[in-house]
Amino acid sequence: MVGFFSLVTGYPGPSGFGSASTAEQVTEGLDASKLTAIITGGASGIGLETAQVLALRGAHVIIAARNMEAAYNAKALILENNPKARIDTIQLDLSSLKSVRAFAEEFLSMDLPLNILINNAGIMFCPFQLSKDGIELQFATNHLGHFLLTNLLLEKMKSTAKSTGIEGRIVNLSSIAHHHTYGRGINFEQLNDPTAYSDKKAYGQSKLANILHAKELSRRLKEEGANITVNSVHPGLIMTNLMKHSLFVMNLIKVFTYMCWKNVPQGAATTCFVATHPSLKGVTAKYFQDCNEDKPNILADDEKLAKDLWQFSEKLVKSAL
């Protein structure tokens, strides 16, 4: 388990990396020229850093973003620093299942392979709102949109892994906040009830859902014998646009916990490590923090809860058709 000492000092764990490691350091020497990666939320923050570093290592990167102006600017920035980078942009609003389907359709029409899917985008601590499909917004954006996106792209990932012999990898960005959720973990019955809503617990619920999704998908893929791993990560505490709804509170917390915070290159390190590092070949259904395996909340290991969430998510997706 990642300890406080390692977190604040950056002392490396068993992987050889730690909280001070950057995305460039954990991918040093990597040849990703045969890989194609989709990164949701790849136009800003740690998503952009992940896109930059994977492109630097030669991967063909698809930036999936709601704001296309930001996506174009991100592409221009990456090309400015790396003229040989292979970057494409496709619009994706994860809070709209229609948009998720349109993204998948556009990507599949490009007839590209797909080796890596990084479910990075998210929102945090927002006031109670319903998505365009009538689903609580944090759950809809952070979990359900990624759930549908992953399912729509899964056959492409399976066929790519089979034809190339290269292991496919799916990475769900969770958070240490998954420890702070509703009592049962996922508040199925009151998901859309504003009277039961807590912006902090709803965020924790969506981040717990990211881990449960990874575990249940991993179980299903192992049963099939598919050459794809699915893991979840906590990137660390990083000040990004994700915190726009709680900027004052987070800045106040940062004053007292400044030793635990990371910069953006450090924040993208665990994602890049789990998505690409050779040492993790065959490793699946795990939770990582500071580039090392860590122990999630006990609810994250509840197989029944994971299966219930999968069925619940399928029903929500079907009801939005």
Averaged pLDDT in 10-residue chunks for the chain of 321 residues: 52 93 98 98 97 98 98 98 98 98 98 98 96 97 98 98 98 97 96 97 98 98 98 85 50 47 93 98 98 97 98 96 74
Residue 321: helix, strand or coil by DSSP?
Answer: coil
pLDDT at 320: 85
- Active-site choice (72, 182, 197, 258): 197
Tell me the two tokens of residue 79.
């090309």
Sketch the domain layout of the chain as residue ranges: 4-319
Model's pTM, two decimal places?
0.92
Non-local CB neighbours of 146 within 8 Å, separated by 6+ positions: 40, 94, 119, 121, 172, 210, 213
- Report the alpha-carbon distance of residue 284 to residue 215 in Å, rounded: 8
Going along 219-264, which residue ranges are E strands?
228-234
pLDDT at 221: 98
pLDDT at 7: 52
Long-range contacts of 156-161 (CB under 8 A, 24+ apart): 156/108, 156/113, 156/114, 157/114, 157/115, 157/117, 157/228, 158/226, 158/227, 158/228, 160/36, 160/113, 160/114, 160/115, 161/115, 161/226, 161/227, 161/228
Buried b (16+ CB within 10 A) or exposed e, 28-50: eebebeebbbbbbbbbbbbbbbb
Tell me the two tokens of residue 125.
């601590």
- Report the alpha-carbon distance of residue 44 to residue 75 in Å, rounded: 11
Told to judge if 197 belongs to the known catalytic residues of this protein, a careful annotator would answer yes
Instruction: Kindly give the interhelix angle for 97-109 and 145-164, rounded to the nearest 10 degrees.
Output: 20
| Superfamily for domain range 4-319 | NAD(P)-binding Rossmann-like Domain (3.40.50.720)
